[in-house]
Structure 1
Amino acid sequence: MQVEHDAKWIKRLSALSRMYFTPTFLGAEYIDASKPAMYVGNHTIYGVLDSPVIIDYLYNEHKVAVVSIADHSHFYLPGWRGMVKKFGAVQGIQDYVRTVMQQGYSILVFPGGGREVLKRKGEAYQLIWKQRYGFLKLAQEFNYDIVPFAALGGDEVFELGFDASVIVEHRWFKQLLKIQKLDKLLRHGDVIPSLPKRIIPKRIPFYFQFLPRQSLSHIQSVEDLKRYREALQQDIYTAIEQLKKIRAEQHSTD
């Protein structure tokens, strides 16, 4: 599988977000380009404002050859598909991910996927990972460390005007989902987006915190894997709260 990394394109596109959201990066000491790892974090709403910044930071500033695992929907439109590929993205198909890991690439994964991007009211900074464990099993298979990270700011740039829950929870919509093909197409309602009141995002500073590498060598059973995943989520939640404190302290100083 040929992975594309267009460094100039990545830097050019992320430059807009950098100028607008003035990101702060913490925990750079845990980023090591000499050993591939799996970078795992929270996905913020719509996922297009902070993801380019993270990829640019890892690839252009730390020389980490990172491959982003993208939702299938990104690859439906030819023009958009080409742009996503320039960021080194591949579809979230296990065989594809396994292939790029065999080539020694680091992996950027948001276990919440498309559902975590299409947040609804009251879901800011929630990890919606469902019962996904495949990414951890792949990390085990290739002896990749996990590098957790937390992102703050992205879930606050839009105020939602229309909440997708209005549709998803309506009894008529639930009736439609009883049609198997339609239910599969709409992913049980997960692909229904909430809509912002305004398309121009608020200018809120972004913060990113990378955490120490974590080995999976101690995991021996499915129960161990479940406990680890819960602990990993808690690490990210804790880091988000710490970033909120840092932001509040900086704001009070300013």
Structure 2
Amino acid sequence: MRDGVRALAEKARVKVRPNDLEARDPRFIERVMPLLGTLYDHYFRAETELEAPFVDGPALVVGNHNAMTGTPDMFCHMLAFWRLHSPARLAYGLMHDVPFGFPGAGAWLNGAGALAASPENAARALDRGAAVLVFPGGDIDACKPFSRRYEIEFGKRRGFVRAALRHGVPLVPVVSVGAHHSLYIWTDGRRIAEALKLPQLARSNVAPLGLALPWGIIAGIPLPHLPPPVKIHTRILAPIRPNLPPSAADDPEAVEEVFEHVRSAMQAAMNDLKQQGRHGWFPAS
């Protein structure tokens, strides 16, 4: 634990390199895993289950956003992955560029394998044989109203499908529930965001209104919010292997067919996790 804290302090002084695959630091990951494991096991009581053995070689891992800026989607998924394969297996997570600017935290995330979300970074990581974690829904999925917390919301984003087809890699869906109980979002504020031109000014399609710790009432995306200890339940689904040539990435109908396959598999898993109820404030035993 103490060594993990020292590792965080040391890494916080390192320059952030959001587009550099070499910024990933397996030794740093090893040192902080016990500390992250305490949060994973005891604070969030995270539970991760596998439908099938995780694939060998490069893969595009597709996750839903389990609430907003303070929730540990990426760290929970990556910690489960590191425990399964060790930090030695090459893996990256694509992330919005804003968190890279957080003092200290940007370098921590970078050292753990976070890269700026872009098609170029995804391609370079896949070419290296890495597992690459993406959250196609971005802010529109993260900032869903509480009433829609069990919906998979990817909007019109299909880039992850095209990347998988071009590189001939399997898609591994990951569905997570529970963290949307850590705050209350009344509306995602898309019309407000459009009126304020946030998509152009801040790469944000939303301006959510709701309640979150420690801010109380929120108007806009809190950076970050403080999540209470709600239980998180995650399921890693069986890999989806489209039997299509790389040229299918330029065929809108083929892309849409694969997209719907992934989305519907994730929604079915989400519905099942909802029914089981092993998440949130008062999880079923």
Shorter-chain TM-score bucket reads 0.7 to 0.9
Question: Is contact 1:148-1:236 (8 Å) kept?
Answer: yes
1:185 maps to 201
Corresponding letter in the other structure for 1:230 = E
Q: 2:121 aligns with which of 81, 96, 109?
A: 96
Aligned residues: 242
2:24 maps to 4
Corresponding letter in the other structure for 2:241 = S
1:65 aligns with 2:95: no
Unpaired segments of 5 or more residues in structure 1? Answer: none
Distance of aligned partners of 1:117 and 1:10 in 2 relative to their CA distance in 1, 3 Å threshold = farther
Shift of 1:69: 0.6
Question: Is contact 2:59-2:126 (8 Å) kept?
Answer: no
Corresponding letter in the other structure for 2:175 = A
**Distance in 2 between residues matched to 1:244 and 1:174, nearest whole Å:** 32
2:273 maps to 243
Q: What value does the CA root-mean-square deviation take over the aligned residues?
A: 2.8
Corresponding letter in the other structure for 2:105 = W
2:213 maps to 198
Shift of 1:205: 2.1
Unpaired segments of 5 or more residues in structure 2? Answer: 1-20, 215-225
2:219 maps to none
1:51 maps to 74
Corresponding letter in the other structure for 2:240 = Q
Distance of aligned partners of 1:232 and 1:183 in 2 relative to their CA distance in 1, 3 Å threshold = closer
Q: TM-score, normalised by structure 2?
A: 0.74
Question: Is contact 1:158-1:197 (8 Å) kept?
Answer: yes
**Distance in 2 between residues matched to 1:44 and 1:208, nearest whole Å:** 10
SS in 2 for 1:98: helix
**Distance in 1 between residues matched to 2:209 and 2:103, nearest whole Å:** 25
**Distance in 1 between residues matched to 2:77 and 2:195, nearest whole Å:** 40
Question: Is contact 2:231-2:283 (8 Å) kept?
Answer: no
1:38 maps to 60
1:129 aligns with 2:154: yes
1:25 maps to 48
Question: Is contact 1:119-1:194 (8 Å) kept?
Answer: no
Shift of 1:174: 5.3
Question: Is contact 1:69-1:108 (8 Å) kept?
Answer: yes
Q: 2:191 aligns with which of 125, 150, 169?
A: 169
Corresponding letter in the other structure for 1:145 = P
